[in-house]
Amino acid sequence: MRSFLLGVIATLLIFTAAGYVAVSQGLVPANADGRPPGIEMWAARTSLHATLRREAPQGAVPIQATDANLVAGVRLYGQNCAVCHGASTSKRETASNIAIGLYQKAPQLADHGVEDDPVGVTYWKIAHGIRFTGMPAFGAHLSDTQIWQMSLFLNKMDKLPPEVQKVWAKVQATPAPV
């Protein structure tokens, strides 16, 4: 029994030491221009889904999908998100340098949208960001109402009322050159 326990402890120590050497010698990739290891992608995805199941708000959306709220969502998106997630005509091939330089490339939401996701899930992602990707957290700097406005806009992006669509069509993905 004693030698069995010693064996377990020795194995744990070897794994810990190997992990330390891998990190301290830069064997764990620190670059953003390579494909992340499969285990990192699996862990990030699995943990995100479990967290969303536990934490994403599930009840009714606390604001109405009025034109005023949707237009506010479009404007906030233009200021905070379009640089990574693109404008109404953006496709993967026309994504900004920032969007394609990230190592989880930011999806161009007009092309690959999140209309199918529950609004509360999108709300959670905007408020808290997504670890292991470049998706920032906006909860500390935008109000709850502003985050719901953007979440509603993203949920209805492919079926916006005409007045809202007009404003959406004007959003630019990259700032105009000076």
What does the binding site for ligand HEC look like in residue numbers (CB under 6 A)? 77, 80-81, 83-85, 98, 102, 104, 106-107, 114, 122, 125-126, 130, 133-136, 138, 150, 154
Min separation Cβ 139 and ligand HEC, Å: 10
Quick one: which of 69, 59, 52 has its CA closest to 156?
A: 69
CB nearer to ligand HEC: pick between 16 and 143: 143
Min separation Cβ 39 and ligand HEC, Å: 16
d(CA 80, CA 93): 21
DSSP 71-122: HHHHHHHHHHTHHHH--TT--GGG--HHHHHSSSPPP-TTTS--TTS-HHHH
Quick one: which of 147, 152, 146 has its CA closest to 115?
A: 152
CB nearer to ligand HEC: pick between 26 and 63: 63
Min separation Cβ 129 and ligand HEC, Å: 8
Min separation Cβ 69 and ligand HEC, Å: 14
CB nearer to ligand HEC: pick between 4 and 93: 93
